Structure 1
Amino acid sequence: MPSKKIFALAALLCSTALAAVEDTYEPADSKVNVLDYDNFHRFLDQHQDDVILMEFYAPWCGHCQQLAPQYREAAAELAKADLPKNVVLAKFDDGDDYNRRLRAGAPDVYNFTSYPSLFVLQDGEHERYGGGREADDIIFHMSAVAKGLDPYEEELKTKPGLYKDDPERSKYVRDLLDEEEMSPVIADSPKNVLRVTEFYSDRCPFCKSLASEYVEACKELKEKFAEEVECHAVNSRVFYDVAEEWEITGYPWMAFFYQGKKVEDMAGLGGSDSIVNWVSKMHAEHFDPNGVSPPPPPKKPKKKDGEDVGAPTDWSATVFEHTRFLLHSIAAKYPDEPTPEDEESVKALIGSLAHLFPSKSGANGLRSALNSASLGPIDTSSSSSLSAWMCSLENAATGSSADCSSSGLALLDLGECDEACHNEEGWKVEKEAPWSQTVYTADPEYHQKVLKTSEDAWQARELFKVLDLAKRLGIVTKKAEKKTRNSIMEGKKTQDHYLKYLSGEIEDALKESTL
């Protein structure tokens, strides 16, 4: 006769299973659309003019259960929001055997390996949802998408600045928060005014310590020069394109603008007295009380996502070439018989670079290319397959039409490597450990040090993935690897320069390679 314990266990299992279903169940008044295999594509057709957030979940998934009430709340708020495009939230039970036929028939359409997985769908395209999972985060992210804005950039703009959120500081220092207003305010204003502008990062400890000194200096400058001097500040971590435009290479950085030109950079930032003395010197040397203000600048044509207006700068072109070379080098070095860990590592790396690419348009272009239905899923089955896929990725990202049938073609086209670099067996290297064994598992203490001291921990973390992968492939020498890590650790280079520096080291190492 079954014992009471068995009955109790059975009851517990049944109640747990029922609770899991209830946690992901949508009540009748929910604004979340529950889909299955039969109505999935019909739903997409009905909402082809809307923005859709699609959740793939399983009822037994704990994270899915935690997300459900937040998802439901966000759906209710977005359903009544006044946005340029309607935003609808939907969910699809991918844990159901019948429903799994959706992805089984087209595994390249929605490629994921864990629950919940969320995708943003609009205009026939889809991309991974990259926002938070609280209701407010979902509402913020999807509202930005519906307005045609970059949700990642919009989120950064909401982060606390060093001046804008402090009423006392903002009396004397104006935090510039709109990229469109920065060039006129900093350099091309019709007013005959000297402008002092600090470029900072809100994550830079030294910038934070300097802020009070800068405010004190600007207060004194206002008393001394009245309306002839203005103080501004730009969070270069958010508006990195602006910092690049004015050749800002570190934080904090102070520049002096007058009559439409950057006159001078301040070297050796110090206390308020040194700032006042420097600005007073600039005022004496450059300010003309009878000066004629420059005419208003012509409006710059707006750029679409993934598109640069005008010719790229030499630096941008150099970084683009370095990035191409880095990606194709990794493909060329990829093993012919990769392990599952190898495949997961290179997939994660490509995803990281889609956010790491050191220009906004480049990152947007790469993300769009990765989510293009015509590209297909990343092929990590062999070195030749990955090289061909990488070539197709470049075609999708740049609009080029290179022949991707030959392994390593794009790498040869770069002119960085001659035919002697290639052989019929591929680029064979002895790996010290699986690529997935990064600095985080190998040295947790070092990892914590990185997170505490790096100017931008997220960028450093992603770059260490690139560096570790390059090291495992034998592309980077130990000396170059140490030098690169130290530069990232010590904050000697801004985040936009890391990739250029790292890929330059890889290029040099490849040229010296005897493989």
Structure 2
Amino acid sequence: MGVRGTGGLWWGTVSCTLFLAVNGLYSASDDVIELTPTNFNKEVIQSESLWLVEFYAPWCGHCQRLTPEWKKAATALKGVVKVGAVDADKHQSLGGQYGVRGFPTIKIFGANKNKAEDYQGGRTSEAIVDAALSALRSLVKDRLSGRSGGYSSGRQSRESGGGDKKDVIELTDDSFDKNVINSDDVWMVEFYAPWCGHCKNLEPEWAAAATEVKEQTKGKVKLAAVDATVNQMLANRYGIRGFPPIK
């Protein structure tokens, strides 16, 4: 009976392992969004967000090694860039639609969702995050220049007169550390002088960028401004000598 019990335990362990392998590499508790033919179009193609999507097979050793790095990247990019995964062994039609021939295949769905870019970078969370942020910068710059738009409501606001100045957060010597230094969000801060012509020219562009980035990242990346002629402590701390530097 003891041997049979041990065998049953061994088989139960193997069965559990096989069950987990067959049912994918990600769970609902991960920040990686599971994508299928049912939700792909709504979640990715019709989305305003930038997406990184891994096409994987549960039995693939390279995919298994990538999994912890992909999860780390998804957590780091949460609220900024969407990170998803498709079990392309199970959903072969979706893999075929995007020309997936090997595993893992990673694609970036940016401004033109119908023309995804292949990711050819490193397989570490750091490399993946760097590529995502680089793609996000390109996407925002394209939208500011009017070269792309997609489904963004921000596109409509720019066409009707630019961004909202209220989306640019005014910072002072007293509020800077609390808002920026002690924050988990990403901040871009313009140091300006009210009399500076370059600063005045930048103002509508900065407002448009603030609105676009706010919508794209769901508020996780913030644009701000500091009047460096009034808040001289901050100006000295960051070595401001001319206008308008952006940090």
Give the TM-score range, shorter chain.
0.3 to 0.5
Name whichever structure is richer in strand by fraction: 2
- Pick the structure with more helix per residue: 1
TM-score (norm 2): 0.47
Between structure 1 and structure 2, the one with the greater Rg is 1
**Larger RCO, structure (CA 8 Å, separation 6 or more):** 2
